[in-house]
């Protein structure tokens, strides 16, 4: 069984997730830590629980989800993994950070890019890749069928969906991907989004005003 721990980070209140299982191996997903206090909260949790970070995953490369990539690389030697289609977003982040007044330490580049489908494994945990662009050009979600959980990034929120007014966003594509790739998951699957509280697939199918 995998366990998930959330940390709300940076001025955008982005959810950084640690996903770990009884082997102690741990995936760090969307590290958004911005202040020393936010960095310490994650590092201390890892130490206290004797975790071994083995993967750094980005659902997508908007600034609030990659602010901690450099810190995690410096701390644990992990380079990020994401879909190659997000490179165009990551490469724009230095300019984006200047315009938004957010301090950004340059993220290392991946050695390995993630495909549109397939699985990633660590410890006893298998994550299925779900390709769901629309909020960003090559957004991935990470699904553990065994644990009935989805780390969904900025695709689907409790009562809402990801914004599509950013560069390379596409509203129709996002709606279609949620319907065909997320709403086909089991109703009881818990969705851990990039912002705000968790929800379930069933709850969003029944109540989300966008559908």
pLDDT at 164: 98
State how far the Cα of 71 lies from the Cα of 73, in Å rounded to an integer: 5
DSSP per-residue string spanning 141-194: EEEETTTTEEEEETSEETTEE----STT--HHHHHHHIIIIITTS-TTPEEEES
Question: CATH code at 144?
Answer: 3.60.15.10
Domain that holds residue 17: 3-207
State how far the Cα of 37 lies from the Cα of 35, in Å rounded to an integer: 5
pLDDT digit string (tens) for the chain, length 211 residues: 999 999 999 999 999 999 999 999 999 999 999 999 999 999 999 999 999 999 999 999 999 999 999 999 999 999 999 999 999 999 999 999 999 999 999 999 999 999 999 999 999 999 999 999 999 999 999 999 999 999 999 999 999 999 999 999 999 999 999 999 999 999 999 999 999 999 999 999 999 999 9
Query: What are the percentages of helix, strand and coil residues in the chain, rounded to 5?
Result: 30, 30, 40
pLDDT at 165: 96
State how far the Cα of 136 lies from the Cα of 167, in Å rounded to an integer: 8
pLDDT at 187: 98
Q: Taking a C-beta distance cutoff of 8 angstroms, is the pair 68, 33 a contact?
A: yes
Q: Taking a C-beta distance cutoff of 8 angstroms, is the pair 136, 163 a contact?
A: no
Number of separate domains in the chain:
1
Q: Please state, as a whole number, how many other Cβ atoms lie within 10 Å of the Cβ of residue 191.
A: 23
Return left, alpha or beta for 32; rule: phi > 0 is left, psi -120 to 50 is alpha, else beta.
Answer: alpha
Cα-Cα-Cα-Cα dihedral sign, residues 77, 194, 185, 165:
negative
State how far the Cα of 123 lies from the Cα of 199, in Å rounded to an integer: 26
């Amino acid at each position: 069984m995998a366990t998930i721990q959330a940390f709300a980070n940076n001025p955008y209140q982005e959810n950084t997730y640690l996903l770990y299982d009884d082997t102690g191996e741990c995936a760090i997903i969307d590290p958004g830590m911005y202040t020393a206090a936010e960095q310490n909260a994650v590092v201390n949790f890892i130490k206290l629980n004797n975790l071994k970070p083995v993967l750094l995953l980005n659902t997508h490369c908007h600034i609030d989800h990659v602010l901690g990539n450099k810190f995690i690389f410096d701390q644990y030697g992990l380079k990020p993994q994401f879909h190659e289609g997000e490179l165009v977003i990551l490469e724009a982040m230095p300019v984006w950070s200047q315009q938004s007044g957010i301090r950004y330490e340059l993220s290392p580049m991946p050695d390995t890019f993630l495909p549109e489908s397939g699985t990633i494994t660590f410890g006893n945990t298998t994550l299925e890749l779900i390709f769901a662009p629309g909020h960003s050009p090559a957004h991935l979600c990470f699904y553990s069928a065994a644990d009935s959980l989805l780390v969904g990034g900025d695709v689907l929120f409790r009562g809402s969906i990801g914004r599509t007014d950013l560069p390379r966003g596409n509203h129709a594509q996002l709606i279609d991907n949620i319907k065909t790739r997320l709403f086909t998951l089991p109703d009881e699957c818990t969705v851990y989004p990039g912002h705000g509280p968790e929800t379930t697939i069933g709850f969003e199918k029944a109540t989300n005003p966008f559908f």
